[in-house]
Amino acid sequence: MSSPQPSDLPCAAGTPFVQVQDACKTYGTGEKAVQALSHVDLQVPRGRFVSVIGPSGCGKSTLLRTVAGLEQPDGGSVRICGRTAAEAGAAKMIGFVPQVPALLPWLDVLGNVRVLEKVNRGGGARRHGGAGQGLASDPVALLTRLGLGDVLHRRPGQLSGGMQQRTAIARAFALEPQVLLMDEPFSALDEFTRESAQLQLLDVWQELRTTVVFVTHSIAEAVLLSDSVVVMAARPGRIAGVVDVDLPRPRHHGLLDSADMHEHEHRIRQVLETAWNPVEDVA
């Protein structure tokens, strides 16, 4: 009888689904050393949508890549449901959406989403008892929900930037990960396309409830999407505070002009302003 895969085993009661403890990361040495992460602690419960925001160079992407196992911390640890990032990655528990979609140009939209089925046969069935997660296990339905139902057979070169990024998001969800890490996926989109993509992402997430860690520069985007917003400060990269977002779900863009929305944005700006130290920056 084969031993269970790491993702087949349930998290112990009270165990954070994603847990970063005292993580440190420095690039370079001597006078050129840059401390990207300094004693970072982060806990993300299962099924939550958490955004990470902060100024450029504060370590947001480094933190995301460390959770993904793409970077190794100099100190501290990362656990996904009690497993190391390497164990979780090997068990296909982690999905990653980078800023650049990185689609295969010789495959159409549907082919790009289905390519993971070919390289990861049986992965979803192993992780979810053979049944899959409904929407995530149906690439056509998933792409349709993301507004791509009429371009299934177009290749990436025939798509707009927004369509390419939504294809990459569909591909990540199709892997049926237990944790989905997203590194500013909408940063290159115009405002109208970005707003549409945000709502389509929320629509899919609302059904699947995948645990998401989402990096963004936009305070409004972070509030609209998230259950909580992790605010980072730079030099060295550290967590300055966490702002819980108690806006009702499902969310919609009508919230953007609401007093509650502005109050959450104000609280995030306060944390950023408190963490910013111009004296250290000049030095």
CATH number, residue 78: 3.40.50.300
Give this prediction's pTM. Answer: 0.88
Convert 56-93 to b/e letters by CB count within 10 Å (16 or more is b): eebbbbbbbbbbbbbbebeebebbbbbbebebbbebbb
Q: Which two tokens stand for residue 282?
A: 């000049």
How confident is the model at residue 1, as a pLDDT? 39
Could you tell me if residue 46 is inside a domain? yes
What is the Cβ-side half-sphere exposure of residue 10, based on CA atoms within 13 angstroms? 4
Could you tell me if residue 117 is inside a domain? no
Q: Which two tokens stand for residue 228?
A: 């909580």
How confident is the model at residue 5, as a pLDDT? 41
Could you tell me if residue 138 is inside a domain? no
The total domain count for the chain is: 1
Residues with pLDDT less than 70, the chain: 1-15, 118-133, 277-283
How confident is the model at residue 137, as a pLDDT? 85
What domain range includes position 197?
16-103+176-275
How confident is the model at residue 280, as a pLDDT? 47
Could you tell me if residue 113 is inside a domain? no
151-209 residue pLDDT tens: 999 999 999 999 999 999 999 999 899 999 999 999 889 988 999 999 999 999 999 99
How confident is the model at residue 127, as a pLDDT? 47
Could you tell me if residue 110 is inside a domain? no
Could you tell me if residue 121 is inside a domain? no
